[in-house]
Amino acid sequence: MDADCLIKLTKANLKEVVCTWYHVILPETVKKEVVDNAGGHMDAIAIGGNIAKGLLKVDTRLSPTGKGEQSVVSLYQTYVFDAVCSDDKRFIKKLRLLNIPYITPAVFVALLVHDGKLTASEAESKLNALSPFISSDEYLTVRQAIRSQRLS
């Protein structure tokens, strides 16, 4: 997961739900970016607490150099992961070019419903909390996906 995704999940109070049901790994550079270099910001404290409790895992196998996004790609290409998690438009373009599957914060909400971890009404509430941080197109698409799960 990159910093952008992690911060948006934190701000929308979705991080713990996502990390409870999915294995989320951060490269060490992302941890440094969002926790160590964040100057005691509330999000940084919450994320640091999740790391300390083992809810979020930090992978230290790669040298912590470069930007977090570079480390995310290197980690994905070096080890076995299902997808990369990001909400950064430029980074997502790069992931597409590299044919790397990715998940955005809003897609996590739809996955949680699909996997039976949230009800559709819980998911809509979580998506509404996330809405200030995502595009209206993504919001509407994921809301429709959630509603279609409710009907099936």
CB contact at 8 A, 40 and 71: no
Domain ranges of the chain: 1-103, 105-152
The pLDDT tens digits for 78-95 are 888 999 999 999 999 999
The pLDDT tens digits for 25-79 are 999 999 998 998 887 788 889 999 999 999 999 998 876 666 778 889 989 998 8
Give residue for tokens 């895992």. 57
**Residue 114: CB partners within 8 Å, gap ≥ 6?**
149
Our separate counts of H helices and E strands in the chain read: 9, 4
Give residue for tokens 């994905």. 76
Among the CATH numbers 3.40.50, 1.10.3300, 2.60.40, 1.25.40, which is that of 1-103? 3.40.50
Longest dimension (CA), the chain: 47
